[in-house]
């Protein structure tokens, strides 16, 4: 329940739409019940008038029937329109909220999850929350209001009948839903987990399809999908069967309620306290009022799966930030000097890629970090960008990194990561990520510096060529140079380039290094590489 209250707090700006949806739902339930009641009373009154030869004004009740029928139809349309609009607005806010929660956790926290798992939680679990308002909150709130209103309406005619109706509505609207929730909980929660696992396995299988084919592991992956699918169908079937039993018990409850009211009200008809048409009206009204409790029961059947999706989302959203932001951040000084003194970092356990590590990079100078794989070269870059916490001292422009706001720090640094992401867009849009308002001249300059100009010129669509998912439509070297161009477009004092020439042949590497050397004149550069050629453009080399 705490997670639900938290989510609704996040989306509180949509309370007007949510309230309007509840009102529309109550209106539809009321219109339907009154339509049944007035119709029954009208038919019974017409029959009595025919037998007793008493005149009867049928214009007003027939007009009321038409009014309630039209109101029910129009109300149902408006109810669908308003509640779905509210649900979609809520989803929109939740996606933004979750993305803002996820972003600061990258890469230190999110690297613990596979891309398929993250995709499942960010998309599928969020989409499941559409049911939170649409099929849980709105029906439950509207159902409670309708139950109270129905009881008060019947109480006008017969107090004992109203108490009986209330008892059966509480049975079907409170006790049965609680039982339904308890019955559905294990299957719904297990189903939510299996659905997440299925999406993860399928996503990973699609992304790694090439490797699965090369390794002959397609059948094994297919078997995993089939196994999880079978388990998911089994849970869904169990949930459907038990849901059918609950729905049948609700129909039985409505039938017993109608029978009970018939017994109670018959004595009132005999004693002339209640007219025959009024008895018919109350019976049909009470039968129709069970629409309210039915919505509550269905809501409780869905509640466990929604609750499980909420738990999966908040598990990541509530993760501790890998790096703490200062309460009173300092400002950048404008200097790009970098100093690390006795810096220690551990991934956990006794594995220390960096232990009492120090370096000094004066403003405007260039340094290279080199060494074999796994010695901590890329870790240095992540520490400098405040992606991970550390022990020791790091200063940028003579200001301690821990005293700087992460975004302020990264505004003065431009970095090419070891595995840069290429967005599923055009070459131009991938480059513009670093500076959305860059001019064509600026783009052309970095395309030239990254040695992309000749390749781009030969493409039919030029910079508008699409790169595909993760850069699948371009080669590895071209993708890396697109990422390099993006890095160079950002105007920064310090550039951190992690393996900028990876995937290039020797001739292309030489040409690109010449252009890179010219582009970065006067800038501070920390170059991370295991290749010998890039070392010629730096002033100092540190081997880890």
Q: Which residues contact 295 (CB under 8 A, 6 or more apart)?
A: 25, 139, 140, 142, 143
Higher pLDDT, residue 338 or 57: 338
Task: Specify the pTM.
Answer: 0.75
| Band (438; pLDDT cuts 50, 70, 90) | very high
Query: Does residue 283 share a domain with residue 359?
Result: no
Query: Does residue 256 share a domain with residue 403?
Result: no
Query: Does residue 295 share a domain with residue 356?
Result: no
Q: Which strand (E) or helix (H) includes residue 525?
A: strand 524-528
336 contacts 494 by C-beta, under 8 angstroms? yes
pLDDT value, residue 528: 92
pLDDT value, residue 348: 67
d(CA 269, CA 275): 6
| Band (272; pLDDT cuts 50, 70, 90) | low
d(CA 119, CA 113): 10
3-state DSSP call for residue 360?
strand
Query: Does residue 348 share a domain with residue 212?
Result: no
**pLDDT higher than 90, residue 198:** no
347 contacts 410 by C-beta, under 8 angstroms? no
Higher pLDDT, residue 161 or 118: 161
Would residue 323 count as lying in a domain? no
As a residue count, the chain comes to 544
Of residues 267, 309, 272, the one with CA closest to residue 125:
309
Query: Does residue 199 share a domain with residue 51?
Result: yes
Would residue 333 count as lying in a domain? no
Query: In the chain, how many domains are there?
Result: 2
C-alpha torsion 456→457→458→459, nearest 10: 50
pLDDT value, residue 26: 92
Domain of 115, in residue numbers = 2-317
| Band (315; pLDDT cuts 50, 70, 90) | confident
Of 111-115, 151-155, 438-442, the range with the lowest mean pLDDT is 111-115
Q: Tell me which of 288, 317, 346 is where a domain ends.
A: 317
pLDDT value, residue 350: 64
Query: Does residue 358 share a domain with residue 261?
Result: no
User: Which CATH number characterizes residue 346's domain?
Assistant: 3.40.50.300
Of residues 498, 514, 242, 292, the one with CA closest to residue 382:
498
pLDDT value, residue 463: 93
**pLDDT higher than 80, residue 270:** no
Would residue 354 count as lying in a domain? yes
Q: Which strand (E) or helix (H) includes residue 496?
A: strand 494-498
Averaged pLDDT, 426-450? 93
Query: Does residue 165 share a domain with residue 26?
Result: yes
Of 77-81, 171-175, 203-207, the range with the lowest mean pLDDT is 203-207
**pLDDT higher than 80, residue 4:** no
444 contacts 454 by C-beta, under 8 angstroms? no
d(CA 494, CA 523): 6
Query: Does residue 481 share a domain with residue 418?
Result: yes
Would residue 329 count as lying in a domain? no
3-state DSSP call for residue 415?
strand
Would residue 332 count as lying in a domain? no
Would residue 326 count as lying in a domain? no
pLDDT value, residue 443: 94
Would residue 58 count as lying in a domain? yes
Segment 507-533, tens digit of pLDDT: 888 999 999 999 999 899 999 998 888
**pLDDT higher than 80, residue 347:** no
């Amino acid at each position: 329940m705490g997670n639900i209250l938290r989510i609704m707090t996040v989306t509180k700006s949509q309370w007007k739409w949510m309230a309007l949806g509840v009102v529309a739902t109550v209106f539809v339930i009321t219109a339907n019940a009154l339509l049944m009641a007035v119709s029954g009373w009208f038919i019974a009154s017409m029959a009595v008038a025919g037998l007793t030869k008493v005149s009867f004004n049928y214009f007003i009740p027939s007009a009321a029937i038409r009014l309630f029928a039209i109101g029910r139809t129009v109300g149902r349309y408006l109810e669908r329109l308003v509640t779905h609009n509210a649900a979609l607005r809520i989803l929109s806010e939740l996606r933004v909220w979750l993305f803002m929660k996820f972003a600061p956790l990258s890469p230190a926290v999110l690297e613990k999850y596979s891309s398929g798992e993250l995709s499942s939680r960010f998309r599928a679990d969020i989409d499941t929350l559409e049911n939170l308002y649409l099929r849980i909150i709105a029906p439950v709130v509207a159902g409670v209001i309708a139950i109270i209103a129905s009881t008060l309406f019947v109480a006008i005619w017969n107090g004992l009948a109203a108490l009986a109706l209330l008892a059966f509505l509480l049975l079907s609207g409170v006790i049965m839903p609680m039982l339904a929730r308890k019955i559905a909980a294990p299957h719904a929660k297990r189903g939510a987990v299996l659905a997440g696992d299925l999406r993860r396995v399928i996503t990973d299988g699609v992304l790694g399809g090439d490797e699965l084919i090369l390794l002959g592991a397609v059948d094994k992956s297919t078997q995993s999908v089939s196994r999880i699918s079978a388990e998911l169908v089994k849970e869904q079937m169990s949930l459907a069967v038990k849901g059918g039993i609950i729905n049948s018990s609700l129909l039985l409850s409505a039938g017993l309620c109608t029978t009970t009211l018939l017994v109670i009200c018959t004595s009132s008809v005999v004693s002339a306290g209640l007219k025959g048409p009024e008895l018919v009206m109350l019976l049909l009204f009470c039968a129709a009022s069970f629409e309210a409790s039915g919505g509550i029961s269905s809501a409780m059947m869905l509640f466990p799966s929604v609750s499980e999706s909420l738990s999966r989302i908040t598990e990541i959203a509530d993760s501790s930030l890998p790096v703490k932001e200062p309460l009173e951040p300092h400002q950048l000084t404008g200097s790009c000097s970098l100093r690390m003194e006795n810096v220690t970092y551990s991934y956990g356990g006794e594995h220390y890629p960096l232990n009492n590590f120090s370096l000094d990079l004066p403003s405007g100078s260039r340094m290279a970090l080199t060494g074999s794989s796994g010695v901590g070269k890329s870790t240095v870059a992540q520490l400098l960008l405040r992606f991970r916490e550390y022990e020791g001292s790091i200063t940028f422009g003579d200001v301690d990194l821990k005293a700087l706001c992460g975004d302020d720090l990264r505004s003065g640094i431009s970095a090419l990561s070891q595995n840069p992401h290429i967005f599923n867009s055009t070459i131009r849009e991938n480059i513009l990520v670093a500076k959305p308002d860059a001019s064509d001249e600026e783009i052309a300059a970095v395309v030239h510096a990254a040695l992309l100009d000749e390749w781009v010129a030969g493409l039919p669509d030029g910079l508008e060529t699409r790169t595909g998912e993760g850069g699948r439509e371009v080669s590895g070297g071209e993708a890396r140079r697109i990422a390099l161009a993006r890095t160079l477009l950002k105007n920064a004092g310090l550039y951190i380039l992690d393996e900028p020439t990876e995937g290039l042949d020797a001739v292309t590497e030489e040409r690109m290094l010449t252009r890179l050397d010219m582009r970065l004149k006067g800038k501070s550069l920390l170059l991370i590489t295991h290749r010998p050629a890039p070392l010629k453009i730096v002033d100092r080399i540190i081997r880890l």
